[in-house]
Amino acid sequence: MSSILVLGSGMVGRLIAIDLSTKYTITVVDRDKMRLHFFQDMGVKTLIGDILDQDFFDEAIKGVHLVVNALPGNIGYDVLRKCLEAGKKVVDISFFEQDPFELNEIATKSGGMAIVDCGIAPGLCNMFLGHKLEKINVSSYKCVVGGLPRQREWPFEYKAPFSPIDVIAEYTRPARLVINGAHITKDALTDPELVEFDKVGTLEAWNTDGLRTLLDTTEVPNMVEKTLRYPNSMNYIRAMAETGLFSEEPIEVDGVMIRPIDLTAKLLSKKWAMLQSDKDFLVMEVKIEGMINNHGVTHEFNVYDKHTGAFSAMARTTGYTCTAVVDLVMSGKFSRPGVSAMEHICSDENYKSVLDHLKSHEVIVTERRELS
């Protein structure tokens, strides 16, 4: 069987490795030995080590047909670059801050390729837009998305299914939007609005920097992405930000220099940790408006998923989207050279393949089309 290396054995990395192990030879890399214990007796190989160490990296990627980068965003870009320099195929969900297309030349020269942001959002929502851009003249794109615990617990009413550092980045990174054809930047947590969902009730949405690659790959004149949380959660996040708890500038505390964000992430990793007893849900709504045959048309996509078995809804929707893309690459159905994003997976065949894979894992996507 073909060999795949999964970097990172967090909640999402675990699901990815297990799902892919039915078709491929899987090796999971993590520097935390305790995390790798999860894979005992599962037919998954494990490697303990620091993937940033060049010697370890070189040994780990030998003979590997594809790499899944499921590392935290703060190291994801550097690791993706190393993989592409080595000429590897990569499916990436590390959601780093840097521009992935800066690595396109490296990938092209080395013969490597990468598809980035292969999760739920960014990811699946990008694929919705890419597919519709092939069909209609799109004028507006809006995505609201969030994963939340079913049980609301004071003070945060939130659990993190992935690295707290990556969650904090959603609260601090300026949000890039497109309004009337102009690219603008707003602070995160701005433009709050209440949104109603049939299965979960009222949630609050506010600007986050989720458009990412769409800003470079499309020319849609109006685009916005917002994150969903329980109502009023924005207030305590703003208070933490104003206090400086998310600052990356080191401060002195009793003669020791520390970054406030590192301390905050360490403390929140316990408060936000998803316990085995915790259950969550994910909800996403994507509205795409445009014109077709001189008629206005709206496509509305809805995704709802809930904690199933050992995995959170966020892990399921992110992980199964990722493994669907891995299958496309490994089968040769998607072979675009260089660096790509999910909006490039727009052919009818590949679009259907991803949705069918999600459906096979009971992640259901519904679409409503309305002409005006």
Structure tokens at 96: 């780093």
DSSP string, 53-115: SHHHHHHHTTT-SEEEE-S-HHHHHHHHHHHHHTT-EEEE----SS-GGGGHHHHHHHT-EEE
The residues facing 205 across adjacent strands are 193, 228
What is the reported pLDDT for 234? Answer: 84
> What residues form DSSP beta bridges with 140?
289
- The pLDDT profile of the chain, 372 residues, written as one tens digit per residue, is 799 999 999 989 999 999 999 999 999 999 998 889 899 888 899 999 999 999 999 999 999 999 999 998 889 999 999 999 999 999 999 989 899 999 999 999 999 999 999 999 999 999 999 999 999 999 999 999 999 999 888 888 988 766 788 888 888 899 999 999 999 999 988 999 999 998 899 999 999 999 999 999 999 999 999 999 999 888 888 899 999 999 999 999 999 999 999 999 998 888 888 777 788 999 999 999 999 999 999 999 999 999 988 899 999 999 999 999 999 999 999 999 999 999 999 999 999 999 999 999 999 899 999 998
The two tokens of residue 71 are 């590392």
Which residue's structure tokens are 């990008």?
A: 126
What count of residues does the chain have?
A: 372
CA dist., res. 109 & res. 209, Å (int): 30
Question: Whole-angstrom Cα distance, residue 173 to residue 150?
Answer: 27
Task: Name the percent of the chain in helix, strand, coil, to the closest 5.
Answer: 35, 30, 35
The structure's pTM equals 0.92
Q: Which residues contact 136 (CB under 8 A, 6 or more apart)?
A: 288, 290, 291, 292, 297, 299
- Indicate if the alpha-carbon torsion angle 308, 310, 311, 313 is positive or negative: positive
Q: Does residue 220 contact residue 140 with C-beta atoms inside 8 Å?
A: yes
Q: Which domains does the chain have, with CATH numbers?
A: 3-120+315-363 (3.40.50.720), 124-312+367-371 (3.30.360.10)
Distances (CA, A) of 274 to 30, 111, 144, 198, 305: 20, 40, 22, 25, 16
Q: Are 284 and 121 in contact (CB under 8 A)?
A: yes
CA angle, corner 312, sides to 11 and 191, nearest 5?
100
Distance CA 282, CA 311 (A): 12
